[in-house]
Structure 1
Amino acid sequence: MPTSVIGLSIDAADAAALATFWSAVLHRPLNPGATAESAAIDAADPAEGPKLAFWQVPEPKSAKNRLHLDLWTDEFEAESKRLTGLGAKAVSDNVKPTVRWTTFADPEGNEFDLIASRPAE
């Protein structure tokens, strides 16, 4: 029997607050019953990605993520502005010949990337 990824678990100081941020980022509703201890965001369609589960932990984030989300957009500038408006902070910008991305940190410091194709010059 094959093994499938059904979700990602994300440690948080306040699970409901962090899940609310990601709910807005991904345009996916927060599951009912979210608390500071646990919260989740389901994916209605596999193309939306896996379920995200948030779990309260006592220790703060202390190092670079070993796993992070990559978000794709065709509207890089507008989406970057929207993410910062939601509480994300830009960490670094990267530009390659065919792609660009900005690494952001969510409100609890977890890094994620916003990626877009670069038009041919």
Structure 2
Amino acid sequence: MYSLVPVVDAVVIDATDPEAVASFWQRLLGGELVRTSNGDIDLQDGPVRLYFQHVKDDVKRGKNRLHLDLRVPPDVRREAVERALSLGATRADDVYPGDEFQVLRDPAGNEFCLIWN
């Protein structure tokens, strides 16, 4: 018998260049990139399955309504932020300028947080 409670299978990220965005996330989280039969890219075997689908118009307007919170140990928070920046992330201090966590953007402008509290 099947459960009526769904489980999250993947987080889907729209991108005009799914390969570039998927590559960033693979370097950040690990896992294996698998190109699907329709040309999208699936990041498998990491801490969360991410699926990057191609869209023609990827103009981002405003703050994301959904984002990933990625937990890092408090004692390496600065190093974790620097690593993400070195991989292509940018700071999103316009979203949250505090020091309880760090909001960043991936190369496509999608916000995510490195959290340590």
How would you bin the TM-score normalised by the shorter chain?
A: 0.7 to 0.9
Structure 1 length normalisation: TM-score?
0.80
Matches within 5 A, 1:1-121: 1=3, 2-31=5-34, 33=35, 37-43=39-45, 48-49=47-48, 51-59=49-57, 60-74=59-73, 75-92=76-93, 93-95=97-99, 100-117=100-117
Query: 1:61, CA displacement in angstroms?
Result: 1.8
Q: Which consecutive unaligned segments of at least 5 residues does structure 1 have? A: none
Query: 1:62, CA displacement in angstroms?
Result: 2.1
CA RMSD of aligned residues (A): 1.7
Structure 2 length normalisation: TM-score?
0.83
Q: Equivalents in 2 of 1:27, 1:68: separation in Å?
A: 18
Q: Equivalents in 1 of 2:36, 2:8: separation in Å?
A: 22
Query: 1:34, CA displacement in angstroms?
Result: 6.5
Q: Equivalents in 1 of 2:30, 2:18: separation in Å?
A: 18
Query: 1:29, CA displacement in angstroms?
Result: 2.2
Is the strand fraction higher in 1 or 2?
1
Q: Equivalents in 2 of 1:20, 1:64: separation in Å?
A: 23
Query: How high is the sequence identity, in percent, across the aligned residues?
Result: 33
Q: Equivalents in 2 of 1:41, 1:52: separation in Å?
A: 5
Partner SS state of residue 30, structure 1: strand
Q: Which consecutive unaligned segments of at least 5 residues does structure 2 have? A: none
Query: 1:55, CA displacement in angstroms?
Result: 0.7
Q: Equivalents in 2 of 1:9, 1:76: separation in Å?
A: 26
Partner SS state of residue 82, structure 1: helix
Tell me if the contact between 1:12 and 1:56 (Cα under 8 Å) persists in the aligned partners. yes
Aligned residues: 107
Q: Equivalents in 1 of 2:63, 2:13: separation in Å?
A: 14
